[in-house]
Amino acid sequence: MKHEALLILPYLLQSSYSSCNRVVVARIRTSFIVVPFTLYLCGVGIDHVCFRTTSLAINVTLLASTYYTYTQSSMSMTRATSSANASKQMALTALFLIIASLNAVAAYTPSRPVSPTRTVCHTSSSTTSTSESSSTSTNTNTSVPLQQLPETVPLPPHTFAGMVEAGVLQRFHGPAVARVTESWRLLDREYEHRAFVGHRFDAAADPATSNCHQLCHSYVPGLAAREFWNVAEHPWAARLAKSYRAIQKEFTKVTADTEQLVQEGNNIWAGALTEDASSYGVGWKTLVLMNRGVWDPVNVNLFPAAAKAVRDCGVPATEVFFASMQAGTSIQMHSDFTNFVLTSHLAVDIPYSGENKCRLTVGDETREWINGQVMMFDTSIMHNAVNESDKTRYILMIRLWHPDLTDIECEALQFTYDCLGNPGLVSADPGERFMAEQIVQAQRALPKIKKGTSVVQGFGGGGKNSKKKKK
């Protein structure tokens, strides 16, 4: 309402003081009416940073121009009129200048739901608060009612985020994916969810000393938050554990020659690639088999037993990769910022397995990796890890859909992932959309395993001791 209230002021002031310099009035009227009103009408579809910055820049430019006109007019009025009239007109012009300054400030101050700054929601098991906070703070407990999420509105249809939202609603039944669309809108407005979840595990937990704080940038409302999940409740976990010997044998053989692995593989043992992942440290490396539902055909052919095991065991995976952790290193307490994806580890090669040298802490609970065992936990809760041994630790790490999601919600979330990699999925061109759908369908399927790629025959599809069959 700041702009609307200021729109009428130039007319009121001009009608009362018609003797004021016309050039000054014209410039100020432009600042008051044309710029804010135009941006107000167009701002619905403009990114909030662009909207505020552009409005401020134009207002400041007009303000400077007004000031220049004011000084020039003041000198002219001083020469052409009496001292009393010149003082009066200069005072009135200065008043316009002050109002223009206020308008520039108002233009920069966000006042509409579609142009917010990052919203942070702090909650405990009984309280919630919305405020600005740094990403490192986790000990917050306030007295606002539980889970007060910011109100969301449909996204502008001509923006990419709006097109993805429309695509979700068109492909899936609207009410069935309401949580997904709300999550997408919250992500677009840079919402950050913070919640103390320790009371769900321990009624006496103290937010000031507990690590059971959930931190999410990607947040689907209504999903359970637990430190560790019971893998016995998920049949795929037992099937994956039975595949341990084959996975471990293949992994040991393929990684024995690091130089050849790097030459033939894709992005082998890469470190943290984003600022958000910097807490993993330099000792944590990955070898990716699947990323956001898309298999890596090169690396899958290097580790076909592992890839097939994940697929055949029915793991609802979105990411699959081997992760190494160097001897004597640790991973700092952090969140992975997404609550609708859980994490599972199959311990592949744990130094001194069973001696408690390699440990994972989620919230306030610590467990050690044991060779061949599967664990599942929530990485939106603060967690860390340590390798106190003198050898490198290796696990098969899987990120999977949260069990509380419906099948349709999983498909809708996967669609948002697919759109990020293939924007043609939301193209207005039917041909481009069809081509993107074909690409996605091919990427979702497990890549064709090249003939001869096996742990028996050796690395890369045929070892030096392999023999051709006699005809």
Q: What is the mean pLDDT of residues 38-44?
A: 42
Write out the residue range of the structural domain in which residue 32 sits: 2-108
Buried b (16+ CB within 10 A) or exposed e, 136-160: eebebbeeeeeeebeebeebbeeee
pLDDT band for position 151 (50/70/90)? very high
Query: Are 95 and 137 contained in the same domain?
Result: no
- Tokens 């890549």 identify what position? 447
Contact 320/403 with Cβ under 8 angstroms? no
451 found inside a domain: no
Query: Are 125 and 99 contained in the same domain?
Result: no
- The pLDDT tens digits of the residues spanning 423-460 come to 999 999 999 999 999 999 999 999 998 876 544 344 44
Query: Are 73 and 127 contained in the same domain?
Result: no
Q: Which residue, of 108, 130, 165, is where some domain finishes?
A: 108
Please state the φ and ψ torsions of residue 346, each to the nearest 5 degrees: -105, 115
Give me the pLDDT at residue 17, please.
Answer: 41
453 found inside a domain: no
Query: At a CB cut-off of 8 Å and minimum separation 6, what does 230 contact?
Result: none
Query: Are 246 and 340 contained in the same domain?
Result: yes
12 found inside a domain: yes
> Is 60 exceeded by the pLDDT of residue 81?
no
Give me the pLDDT at residue 259, please.
Answer: 93
Query: Are 296 and 354 contained in the same domain?
Result: yes
Give me the pLDDT at residue 281, please.
Answer: 72
Query: Are 261 and 394 contained in the same domain?
Result: yes
135 found inside a domain: yes
> What CATH number does residue 376 fall under?
2.60.120.330
356 found inside a domain: yes
> Is 50 exceeded by the pLDDT of residue 262?
yes
Q: Which residue, of 218, 242, 272, is where some domain finishes?
A: 218
* % of the chain beyond a pLDDT of 70: 63
What pairing do the DSSP bridges indicate for beta strands 365-368 and 228-229? unpaired
Query: Are 285 and 403 contained in the same domain?
Result: yes
Q: Residue type for 187, please?
A: L
pLDDT band for position 258 (50/70/90)? very high
Q: What is the mean pLDDT of residues 411-422?
A: 97
Q: How many domains does the chain have?
A: 3
226 found inside a domain: no
465 found inside a domain: no
Give me the pLDDT at residue 211, please.
Answer: 96
- Quote the CA–CA distance of 89 and 20 in Å, as a whole number: 6
Which of 363, 338, 382, 131 lies closest to 223 in space, CA to CA? 338
**β-bridge partners, 337:** 216
Give me the pLDDT at residue 116, please.
Answer: 32
| CA-atom Rg of the chain in angstroms | 30
- The pLDDT tens digits of the residues spanning 95-114 come to 656 665 555 544 444 333 33
Query: Are 173 and 267 contained in the same domain?
Result: no
> Is 50 exceeded by the pLDDT of residue 4?
no
Contact 380/215 with Cβ under 8 angstroms? yes
Q: Which residue, of 218, 248, 274, is where some domain finishes?
A: 218
Query: Are 173 and 201 contained in the same domain?
Result: yes
Give me the pLDDT at residue 383, please.
Answer: 97
154 found inside a domain: yes
- Quote the CA–CA distance of 405 and 177 in Å, as a whole number: 10
Please state the φ and ψ torsions of residue 253, each to the nearest 5 degrees: -70, -45
- Token output for 262: 């790097």
- Token output for 342: 């859980």
pLDDT band for position 118 (50/70/90)? very low
Query: Are 211 and 317 contained in the same domain?
Result: no
Burial of 471 (C-beta count, 10 Å sphere; 0-12/13-18/19+)? exposed
Q: What is the mean pLDDT of residues 278-306?
A: 91
Query: Are 103 and 54 contained in the same domain?
Result: yes
pLDDT band for position 200 (50/70/90)? confident
Strand, coil or helix: 144 = strand
Contact 29/99 with Cβ under 8 angstroms? no
- Quote the CA–CA distance of 58 and 380 in Å, as a whole number: 42
pLDDT band for position 173 (50/70/90)? confident
- Which uninterrupted H or E stretch holds 280? none
Contact 218/338 with Cβ under 8 angstroms? yes
Give me the pLDDT at residue 94, please.
Answer: 64
Query: What does the mean pLDDT of the chain come to?
Result: 77
Query: Are 101 and 143 contained in the same domain?
Result: no
What pairing do the DSSP bridges indicate for beta strands 213-218 and 192-196? antiparallel
Query: At a CB cut-off of 8 Å and minimum separation 6, what does 19 contact?
Result: 89
Q: Which of 93-102, 265-274, 370-379, 389-398 has the lowest mean pLDDT?
A: 93-102
- Token output for 396: 């098969």
Q: What is the mean pLDDT of residues 346-352?
A: 98
